Amino acid sequence: MSTQEDEAADPLRPDAYKGTQATMTARLIFRQFGFLFLAATFLLFATFFINFYDGLLDFGDIWRNSPTLQWGPFAIHSWLVIVYGYVFLVGILFALGPSERSFRLFFFLMMAALLAIHYDHSILDWFLRAFLTADIRPQNAVSVFKILFSCLFLVVIIVMHYNVLSDDFARRFLRRGVPTDEVARVRPGVFKVLVPTILSAAALATALGLLGELGQLIFRDTTFLPGKLQLFVLAGLMVPVAFLIRGILRDLAGQRKNRTQPRPNR
């Protein structure tokens, strides 16, 4: 990620760097705004599938009962202000100061939002039973749409991360003297790998969510199979995952052996 050092003028290609830096910053902020809008929209959709008051209130009730914020002739629904305001506030802070630290802060604040909207009866029930000796059963704790939109929300967050990372990459390579036409291939290169990876991961999570949902629909009357089915599916999935981890560990072990001396100062 960018550091103060990155901002220093490129000794090899000062003109090219300065021109590109201005263009890059403008593009970065423009893209970040677009991504933030998408992220907030997905978060809002996921929020509509809220089951915090499941059984007590329906979506319409939540929407109707929430207050609107009046500002002159404009009236904005509080949910919109809360969701978009939160995402844009944190996201713009990240866009203005893109660094590893600000990314972590942004990422975990987004995760906090995700945790908040997925807060449901299972937790509430546990809390009530543990501390207030009350018992409220959720009707349907798992919502496949909620997971789908949450996955899309996460996808956008990750894409935002790699958007900043690509610019940082490009800036670093420019500073080292890599020709501009080669640096221009950084973003397409990153996204060529990112898009299939992230889609595969999202498909995996959504498929698991669907399986859970279907399991509950099909085996509603039984108490044995749904849980077992999910366990089987998870166990089946863990086999390739275990192979992946094994491969990574082997690779890492090999890297340690072949580790070279640190690169000298350029």
Q: Which is nearer to another protein, 81 or 109 (CB)?
A: 109
Q: How far is the CA of 94 from the CAs of 29, 168, 252, in angstroms?
A: 10, 13, 31
Q: Which of 64, 220, 257, 263 binds another protein (CB under 8 A)?
A: 263
Distance CA 125, CA 186 (A): 49
Among 21-29, 56-64, 78-86, 254-262, which window interacts with another protein (CB under 8 A)?
254-262
Q: Are 122 and 139 in contact (CB under 8 A)?
A: no
Q: Which of residues 101-120 bind another protein (CB under 8 A)?
A: 103-104, 107-108, 111, 114-115, 118, 120
Among 66, 68, 78, 200, binds another protein (CB under 8 A): 200
Pick out residues in 177-196 that bind another protein (CB under 8 A): 177-179, 182-183, 185-186, 189-190, 192-194
Burial of 95 (0-12, 13-18, 19+ CB in 10 A): buried
Tokens matching residue 80 = 């919109």
Part in contact with another protein (CB under 8 A); list of ranges 32-40, 65-73, 80-88, 171-179: 171-179
Among 39, 40, 44, 198, binds another protein (CB under 8 A): 198
Shortest Å, Cβ 34 to another protein: 21
Angle of CA points 92, 96, 101, to nearest 5°: 95
Burial class (CB in 10 A: 0-12, 13-18, 19+), 25: middle
Q: Rounded to a whole number, what is the distance in angstroms from the first to the last CA of the chain?
A: 19
Residue 77 pairs in a beta bridge with 68
Distance CA 4, CA 99 (A): 10
Q: Does 219 bind another protein (CB under 8 A)?
A: no
Considering only 97, 141, 145, 219, the residue that binds another protein (CB under 8 A) is: 141
Largest Cα–Cα distance of the chain, in whole Å? 72
Give the interface with another protein as residue ranges (CB under 8 A). 12, 100, 103-104, 107-108, 111, 114-115, 118, 120, 122-123, 126, 141-143, 146-147, 150-151, 154, 158, 161-162, 165, 169, 173, 176-179, 182-183, 185-186, 189-190, 192-194, 197-198, 200-202, 204-205, 208-209, 212, 241, 244-245, 247-248, 252, 255-256, 258-260, 262-264, 266
